[in-house]
Amino acid sequence: MPWITNEMLEFMDERRRWKHQTTETVKREYRRLNNKLRRETDKAKASWWHQQCDEPEELANQGKQDQLYRRISGLNKRRSNICVAIKDKDGRLRC
C-alpha cells in the first residue's frame, strides 16, 4: 500500500506491543492507539487518492489522451495470479 509511511509502521509496532496485555488501562491505551492509527491511515489514503486523481485531470486538461488512458488503466487494473492447469506425463495437474 503506497500510502503507508515509515511513521505509520512504527506506530503499528507500538500498538502491537500493547495488544496482548489484559489490564483495563492497557486495553484503553490500545484502543486509543488503534483509533489514532486508523485516523492517520485514512487521512493518508485519502490524500494519496487525491494526488493520484490530480495527475489524470491535468493530463485531460492538456489533451494528452494517450497518457491519460495509460494512467487510468494503471489505477484500475486488478492484478491476479492466474493458474492454468496442465497435466504432466503422469496425469497430475500442474500450474
- For the stretch 42-69, pLDDT in tens is 999 999 888 888 888 888 899 888 888 8
Q: Which residue has the cell 493518508?
A: 44
Specify the DSSP element, H or E, that contains 87. Answer: strand 86-87
- For the stretch 4-39, pLDDT in tens is 888 888 888 888 888 888 889 988 988 999 999 999
Take residue 63 and report the three cell numbers written for it. Answer: 489533451
The domain in which residue 13 lies consists of 6-94
C-alpha span between 36 and 41 (Å, rounded): 9
- 1 in any annotated domain: no
- 81 in any annotated domain: yes
Phi-psi region of 63 (alpha: psi -120 to 50; beta: other; left: phi over 0): left
Give me the number of domains the chain comprises: 1
- 43 in any annotated domain: yes
